[in-house]
Amino acid sequence: MRPTTWAAPPVPGSTPEIQKPAVFWLVLWCLLVLGVQPWSSRAAAPQGTTGSTNSLMKGVLLGAIFLIVLAATRPGFRTRISPVTNLYVIYVLFATATGFLLADPVGPLLRLARLLIGLVLFFLLWRPLIQVPERLLRAHLWAHLLLASTVLLSLWYVPEQAWRPLSSFGTGFRLQGVIIPMLPPRVGEVGALLLGLAIIALVCRKLALIPATALIGAGLMLVALSRTRTAAAAIAFGLILALLLTRKTWVGRLLTFGVPAVVGLVFLAVPSLHAWLLRGQGAKQISSLSGRTTSWQAVLDEEVSLQTAIIGHGLGNKRVLLRRGEGDIDVMAIDNSWLGLYWETGLLAVTIVGIAMIVAWVSVLRAPTPYVKACGALLLGYVSAASLNESGLSDLSSMTLHLLVAAAVCDADRLRARSRALAAHGGTADPLPLLLPHQDRQPPNPPPR
């Protein structure tokens, strides 16, 4: 699938474009990354619950970002939409149409409106932020650095609330965010992305040694103190794929597999690291992935009608009701993006998002610049691994944002390479060919008879 190009002709009498500074777009992107984080309204909620999400505040923040970006965009702007964003628009349209068939469509429709606003932001931010892929990757790294800073400041500001006890799922404590309320899994995700992007930037010489070392240390600290095994495994998988796709020699590729193998042996051999990995859990809890397999099996065993299998139970319904014995009822989170997609929006939605994931991988493989390809593979590898153990691909979440960013930067990199190739051969170096050409463009000369 080729990226779709939309553009409007210049508006007569409009004022010339005023270039906004790079810091302006960087701040907006940081606010967008902040707005898609699943804030917990009660950071000290009992273990085994996810806490409620402050949807109103996140909705206000996302709406404010949208209005600011819209006001900062001049009329007649030129943009692109990546194939993955197109597929998510199709998903939104499908889920909106089926949402009216639900008994209570208000909640799912509000979530879909929020996702649609996020997709439109990618449409508006093409020219100032996405067209140069390194600019968006730098903004994504800075956004995770700011989130990591708020978590680390929580240790100094309110240390008594920054540690979450592991009562029913192990022993010990896990680091959580307090200044910006984030549960330990989200803290681990922020640290893992900061760690991975900093390592790629250091290897590709986009960051100097001292700042890269500081970012890597901060990311490792968040992953270690939050004790998030999913984030650690997902970022390791993403780093392996990123280095494997960009190493040109067999020695480099062998080292890509050798280093993780050595790290795995160290985790099994060193008692403190082994204790971190087990988190005080028994064999039963480890084998059931902290109880996740119980909810997964309940989703697969649930008998549903054909309509429910196609349209799901409604976006936002991420929990399954478990019945154990007579009158013993428990509610558990599904914690699997693909089963969650099926449960919330049905089989057709799973198919659409699955195609979007495949198309995103194709975009990553076709990216010509090693740094952009490595970052795209890192983000997409993280999403591919974490989606098996976490939910988030059904609405505007941090996981969906990583997927869209990976696809957008790799598509932009390929278009930039095509533009440079045209310029090298004496063609017109226009990275944004228009569907609606400007009126001052002359039609091509007819071929000679």
Q: Are 324 and 331 in contact (CB under 8 A)?
A: no
pLDDT value of position 53 = 47
Tokens of 227: 């004790």
Name the residue with tokens 């076709």: 366
| Residue 349: φ, ψ to 5° | -65, -40
Residue 96, exposed/middle/buried by CB under 10 A (0-12, 13-18, 19+)? middle
Strand extents, DSSP E, 380-423: none
Tokens of 250: 């067999």
What gap in Å lies between CA 379 and CA 367, rounded to an integer?
14
pLDDT value of position 51 = 40
SS3 track for 42-67: CCCCCCCCCCCECHHHHHHHHHHHHH
pTM, rounded to two decimals = 0.86
Q: Are 341 and 394 in contact (CB under 8 A)?
A: yes
pLDDT value of position 156 = 87
For residue 397, the 8-state DSSP code is: -
**DSSP for 326-377?**
SS-EEEEE---HHHHHHHHHHHHHHHHHHHHHHHHHHHHHH--SHHHHHHHH
pLDDT in tens, the chain (449 residues): 555 555 445 444 444 444 566 889 999 999 999 988 877 655 544 443 334 445 677 778 899 999 999 888 877 667 788 899 999 999 999 999 888 887 788 888 888 999 999 999 999 998 888 889 999 999 999 999 999 999 999 888 888 888 888 765 566 788 998 888 888 999 999 999 999 999 999 999 999 999 999 999 999 999 999 989 999 999 999 999 998 888 777 776 677 777 777 777 777 777 777 778 777 777 777 777 777 888 888 888 888 888 888 888 888 777 776 655 444 456 778 888 999 999 988 999 999 999 999 999 999 999 999 999 999 999 999 999 999 998 889 889 999 999 999 999 999 999 999 988 888 876 655 544 433 333 444 455 555 55
Name the residue with tokens 């606003």: 117
What gap in Å lies between CA 215 and CA 145, rounded to an integer?
8
What gap in Å lies between CA 221 and CA 217, rounded to an integer?
6
What gap in Å lies between CA 226 and CA 277, rounded to an integer?
12
Nearest to 379 by CA among 347, 395, 403, 398: 403
